[in-house]
Amino acid sequence: MTDEILVERADGVMAITLNRPNKKNAITSVMYAAMTEALEDARDDAAVRAIVIRGAGGAFSAGNDLEDFVKSPPMGDDAPVLRFLRSISTAPKPVVASVAGVAVGIGTTLLLHCDLVYAADSATFSLPFTQLGLCPEAASSMLLPRLAGYQLAAEKLLLGEAFDAREAHRMGIVNRLLPAGEVDAFALAQAAKLATLPASSLRVTKRLMKQAGDQEVAQRIKEEVVHFGKMLLAPEAREAMTAFLQKRKPDFRQFD
């Protein structure tokens, strides 16, 4: 376990905190592995009745650590990011997210696998995959159109532009907006409520709601990651990342 992922247990709730505030909690492969381990522990520990995912330092997550992703692209079913996505998408216990600050890329798409999402009214969201020469992940190409409707999902996934918390709430990504100073305590309180309810009732209710799409989600995650891995090594992505490091606008006109 890395100190960039903190895991705490109290009164039936496991809190998983992304703890890399100097990088706005950008996620590395080591962090994915640690979160997967925590989710698997929560699944197997009868004392854990609900899970909270949150970020430290006023940010939820700036998404994938691009340098780490380029060095270790997600190849094969055992890639840390794939193991994490399988764990969170099939988690049998309720998962609550507390979102403040930025939620970029997988910082937004992982919310589609949470059961309850509470966000600061000042939070910002973005899905900048096309801007990086990449494609959606975490089954977001399927889940977001189903949740928000095709047109809204297309606007977010094709343009990749940031949107505010009110828009995220309107799209159904977020359950409720709160002042930034209150969102974490509120999410923990909601998880504490869940922890007092019959575990079997929660487990069966969640399974009934999600089981119809389970196989589709798993298949879409696999399909997306094949494209994502190839595109990560393609010239368009290299241009996007070089431009980012050089603090200039990328030029994609040279590519078909």
In 90-213, which residue ranges form alpha helices assigned H by DSSP?
A: 106-109, 140-148, 150-159, 165-171, 183-195, 199-210
Locate the domains of the chain by residue range. 1-180+198-256
Contact 118, 190 (CB under 8 A): yes
Is 1-180+198-256 in CATH node 3.40.50.300? no
pLDDT band, very low/low/confident/very high, at 254 (cuts 50, 70, 90): confident
pLDDT band, very low/low/confident/very high, at 1 (cuts 50, 70, 90): low
pLDDT in tens, 21-48: 999 999 999 999 999 999 999 999 999 9
pLDDT over 70, % of the chain: 99
Distances (CA, A) of 183 to 52, 110, 121, 187, 246: 12, 18, 9, 6, 36
Whether 73 has a pLDDT exceeding 80, the answer reads no
pTM: 0.95
SS3 119: strand
pLDDT in tens, 107-139: 999 999 999 999 999 999 999 999 999 999 999
pLDDT at 53: 98
pLDDT in tens, 76-112: 778 899 999 999 999 999 999 999 999 999 999 999 9
Of 119, 125, 232, the residue nearest 184 (C-alpha): 119
Residue 132 is classified by DSSP as: G
Lowest-confidence segment of 38-52, 126-140, 185-199, 216-230 by average pLDDT:
216-230
Write b or e for each residue in 135-158: b if 16 or more Cβ atoms lie within 10 A of its Cβ, otherwise e: bbbbbbbbbbbeebeeebbebbbe
Neighbours of 113 (CB within 10 A): 22
Distances (CA, A) of 202 to 88, 113, 209: 16, 16, 11
The pLDDT of 189-194, averaged and rounded, is: 98
Sheet holding 116-120, edge to edge: 5-10, 13-18, 50-55, 95-99, 116-120, 176-178
Distances (CA, A) of 113 to 10, 67, 91, 190, 229: 23, 25, 9, 17, 21
The pLDDT of 194-198, averaged and rounded, is: 98
pLDDT band, very low/low/confident/very high, at 62 (cuts 50, 70, 90): very high
Lowest-confidence segment of 7-11, 85-89, 235-239 by average pLDDT:
235-239
Per the structure block, which two tokens stand in for 211? 């089981």
CA 131 to chain centroid, in Å, comes to 18
Per the structure block, which two tokens stand in for 88? 């969170």
